[in-house]
Amino acid sequence: MRRSGGLTAIPVAGFLALAAGMFPAGGAAATDGGTAPDGVEPLGLEAMFKRFLIDERSVGYIAVDAATGALLTARNADGGFTPASAVKALTAIMALDVLGPDHRAATRLYRTGAVKDGVLNGDLILVGGGDPELYTEDFVPMIRTLKAGGVRKVRGRFLYDDSLFPEARKLSANHDGDVAYNAGVGALSLNFNRLRLRWTVSDRGLRVRIYSKTDRMAVPVDIVTSGVAPAGTRARHGVVRNGDGPKPRWLVVPTVKRSGAMWVPVKRAGPIAAHVFQQVAAKHGIALPDPQRGGLPPDATAVSDHRSDPSIDAVRHFLKYSNNVATEIVGQTATRRLSGKPLTLAQSGAAMAEWYRRQLPSVDWTGLSIANHSGLSRETRISPLQIAAILRWARDREYAGRRLWDILQPYWVGTGKARAAKKQRRTGGRPESLSEQGSKRQAEGRSPKSGNRTGRAAAMQVRGKTGTLNHARSLAGYMVTRSKREIVFAVLIDDDRARLAALEAGQRYKRLSRARWAWRSRVVLNAIVRKIMLDF
């Protein structure tokens, strides 16, 4: 795999050889800036790349006829790019195929010993089963069952078992470890492994508290301490983490002027989940000792369990909200099923890559490297062609009566055609799409974010998964073009030149600053998608 260094994206013969078996020779790849094959026009976006200061070598895309596999247009389609969160779509496909859409993870509670006079003369064991959406309130029925069995106190140990797959302290070592989306992950993960840090400024001074919080419950977390940082401390967002051991400490700088709150990451998932279980049990009149990590004894008796929602719902949720922790848990659960043994995040990502190689042996997988399941890694490298091959393969597979089109999220691209908007409103807005499902906002010509009527431009729907990292942006999925042609596509922008320039120059070099690049790359990506929709 290579990154093209010139305007010609890839020789046509080489491209067709690369795609042999997956994309038949019913069509060919258009090569922007080079000579296009007969009957295929290039997109011609070089002027836009120059205008928006996007290195043309950093852009790769492919569009393929979904039904025939004919190659419609491509640029750098065999280049290695960082896909960011677009890789979540690949995790979703593998998980639904390996686990099945009806798989439910179980969080279980066991005990040893007998209960006498309200005392359990043995151990209580909380076992994590890889539930990607375990919430604090899910503990309550388990605790009530324990209480109904006569337990008011545990004389032995309170153990937690999170050995289904290895604990990770963070998803990516190359990203800020203090942001909530780079939390730790484990088989016993709670509330997406994030805590709510809240501080209050009053005449009495600065008060700081930390909770494990959901929409319904907020449980103080005492083993993660919080407080006020020493005078003179400087910290991004006014908060600094001091230590990464069993009892990390989050500190708020003393110069903060307003009360506020923010999410902070959990680094050790199992101990926090077990601690919250202990706190909730105490509120229900059950005294538990401090939790310890331990395995499930062979003579343990089941007390109760909590079953997750079906895996298809978890997949739909992490695709919609792009939740990193939930994606990693689902991915590791799937590779645990495949391998029969616990795998680290890196091993699990590699196992997913190998699974795709087995499913699609005719595709050239040169250069494919998957570091984790969420895409929060610059080490993950994949080509537009490889993503398109996977998406086309998965196009007609059904999961509990749903196709991938139905599970992926809409992506809205304005076409600038007012007449199209009027036509959509007149016909009820029924999109000519793979799922044949309508959208009220699309029908009414409303903005997908604000809900306001656009009035001037139609919003054309695409189903796909986006991805964003520092100077990397992606979108891959399905679309129906203006000519009613069903297309599989992938667009990846990975601008190493801009990233290095921004790092070297810092905030002073505004033209290549991260925020400005993010806006410019979004404009270019949307232009590519719009051109594909209108040209084919």
Domain with CATH 3.40.710.10 in the chain: 12-100+316-415+458-535
Residue-wise burial string across 191-202, b where 16 or more C-beta atoms lie within 10 A, e elsewhere = bbbbbbbbbeee
Which of these CATH numbers, 3.40.710.10, 3.40.50.800, 3.30.830.10, 3.40.50.1400, describes 12-100+316-415+458-535? 3.40.710.10
Q: What's residue 104's pLDDT?
A: 98
pLDDT at residue 29, rounded to an integer: 42
Q: Which pLDDT belongs to residue 240?
A: 80
From 33-37, 331-335, 507-511, the region with the lowest mean pLDDT:
33-37
Check if the beta carbon of residue 252 is closer than 8 Å to that of residue 238: yes
Higher pLDDT, 51 or 119: 119
User: What number is the average pLDDT over the span 302-320?
Assistant: 97
Q: Kindly give the pairing relationship between strand 459-469 and strand 409-414.
A: antiparallel
User: Among 151-155, 199-203, 341-345, 508-512, which stretch is predicted with the lowest mean pLDDT?
Assistant: 508-512
User: Exposed, middle or buried, 81 (CB in 10 Å: 0-12/13-18/19+)?
Assistant: buried
Identify whether the C-beta of residue 108 lies closer than 8 Å to the C-beta of residue 134: no
pLDDT at site 234: 76
The pLDDT score that the predictor gives to residue 255 is 81
Of residues 536 and 4, more confidence is placed in 536
Domain 105-308, CATH: 3.50.80.20
pLDDT of residue 354: 98
> What does the pLDDT average to over 376-383?
96
Given a cut of 70, whether residue 407 has pLDDT beyond it is yes
Largest CA distance in the chain: 86
Q: How many C-beta neighbours within 10 Å does residue 426 have?
A: 9
pLDDT at 490 over 80: yes
Q: Tell me the pLDDT tens digit for each residue of 242-278.
A: 765 556 688 888 888 888 999 999 999 999 999 999 9
Q: Give the pLDDT band (50/70/90) at residue 512.
A: low
Both tokens of 15, joined, read 């491209």
Can you give the C-alpha Rg of the chain in angstroms? 26
Mean pLDDT for the chain overall: 83
Instruction: Give the integer Cα–Cα distance in Å for 385 and 368.
Output: 11
Query: pLDDT, tens digit, for every residue of 279-297?
Result: 999 999 999 999 999 999 9
Nearest to 297 by CA among 97, 444, 159, 195: 159
pLDDT band at 414 (very low <50, low <70, confident <90, very high): low
Q: How many CA atoms lie within 13 A of 20 on its CB side?
A: 4
pLDDT band at 43 (very low <50, low <70, confident <90, very high): confident
Q: Give the range among 25-39, 284-298, 324-338 with minimum mean pLDDT.
A: 25-39
Please give the residue that has the higher pLDDT: either 7 or 79: 79
Residue 442 has pLDDT above 70, yes or no: no
The first and second tokens of residue 421, run together, are 């908007």
Give 135-204 as a DSSP string. -GGGHHHHHHHHHHTT-SEESS-EEEE-TTS--BS-S-TTS-TTSGGG--B-SS--GGGEEEEEEEEETT
Q: What is the pLDDT of residues 68-96, one digit of tens each?
A: 999 999 999 999 999 999 999 999 999 99
Q: Of residues 234 and 442, which shows the higher confidence score? A: 234
Outline which parts of the chain fall under CATH 3.50.80.20.
105-308
- Per the CB < 8 A criterion, the answer to whether 175 and 376 are in contact is yes
Convert the pLDDT of each residue in 172-221 to its tens digit. 888 877 888 999 999 999 999 999 999 998 888 888 899 999 999 999 99
Supply the pLDDT for residue 231.
82
- Does residue 338 have a pLDDT over 50? yes
